[in-house]
Amino acid sequence: MSVTLDVKKDHISDRKSKTVLLAAPRGFCAGVDRAIQIVERSIEKFGAPVYVRHEIVHNRHVVDRLTGLGAVFVEELDECPDDRPVVFSAHGVPKSVPKAAQARELTFLDATCPLVSKVHVEAERHAKEGLHILLIGHEGHPEVIGTMGQLPAGQMSLIETEEDARTFEPVNGQKLSLVTQTTLSVDDTADIIEILKARFPDIALPYKEDICYATTNRQAAVKAIAERCDLLLVIGSKTSSNSKRLVEVGAKAGSDEAVLISSSDAIDWDAIDKADVIGLSAGASAPEYLTDGVLAALRSRYDVSCQEVEVTKEKVIFRLPRLLLDK
């Protein structure tokens, strides 16, 4: 007589364990949130399509979602019809752009981040005082193009590197002032500023640091976790300056490896498999659902223990343009 025994084996998981250190703050800043709301509210108020000059923020997921709502993204104002509203991106635009919009009697809304606008005001004030302005930033970035476009050609010089700072020579002993792009590496920018201050002790500095609070906070959060990380993942676009700076900051702060990914679809699973402690952050133009997606993808393959490391809380809110508040 044969007896069949119903033996229940204890389930032993063969899933690897991973620790995720989640940097905070991360993701959307107040300026990005305001810019996206301006596009959304414009579509609600005026109907689709609403034109947007340049990507409203540097994130393809955001742009694609707004396109689905009825936004049309263009690079130049002459691509916009006369009878539809146009929104200027969060990065800011040269003065010639709103001037051209006014000449065509277009309805336009300026989604320039108020902290970028602050730099524009500083530059104009320095120019009125007869100072030549040095702008620390990256050539070709929309924010730099917009800032340099606040003044006539020749009144501002771009400083990209420490070498630029060492070799710049003012013309005819002109007095100097300094402004910076808002999304730079805090540490790298400080090094450039020190070189300029040593060479030109009388250079007029910003009343308050130009690098925005969100850039500073996100870099501080990455520094707080980097040394403990085998691998740091930063979610953001390749065109996003602040996201690329987070990768650089993480690598310098001690992460064994730091990489930029656009979403969970771009994860290098071989690299993940080798890492025990994974850091996770997101640039200021990356929506939180992308962070959620990366965590979900990690949890689908590993036993994940997640710890949020918060360096500060952000409570900044920027007002929307009056045109969108009027009934």
Contacts of 28 (CB under 8 A, 6+ apart): 36, 284, 285, 286, 287, 288
pLDDT truncated to tens, each residue of the chain (327 aa)?
333 334 333 444 579 999 999 999 999 999 999 999 999 999 999 999 999 999 999 999 999 999 999 999 999 999 999 999 999 999 999 999 999 999 999 999 999 999 999 999 999 999 999 999 999 999 999 999 999 999 999 999 999 999 999 999 998 889 999 999 999 999 999 999 999 999 999 999 987 778 899 999 999 999 999 999 999 999 999 999 999 999 999 999 999 999 999 999 999 999 999 999 999 999 999 999 999 999 999 999 999 999 999 999 999 999 999 999 865
Decide if 258 contacts 250 (C-beta within 8 A). yes
| Other Cβ atoms closer than 10 A to 18 | 21
CA atoms within 13 A on the CB side of 245: 26
My answer on whether 22 and 54 are in the same domain is: no
Catalytic residue from among 105, 143, 160, 288 = 143
Q: Is residue 12 part of a domain?
A: no
Give the range of the structural domain holding residue 270, as residue numbers without chain letter. Answer: 17-28+213-310
Q: Is residue 204 part of a domain?
A: no
Number of domains in the chain: 3
* Annotation says 143 is catalytic: yes
Q: Is residue 208 part of a domain?
A: no
**0.85 surpassed by pTM:** yes
* Both tokens assigned to 5: 């025994």
Using the 8-state DSSP alphabet, how is residue 302 labeled?
Answer: S
Quote the CA–CA distance of 16 and 300 in Å, as a whole number.
11
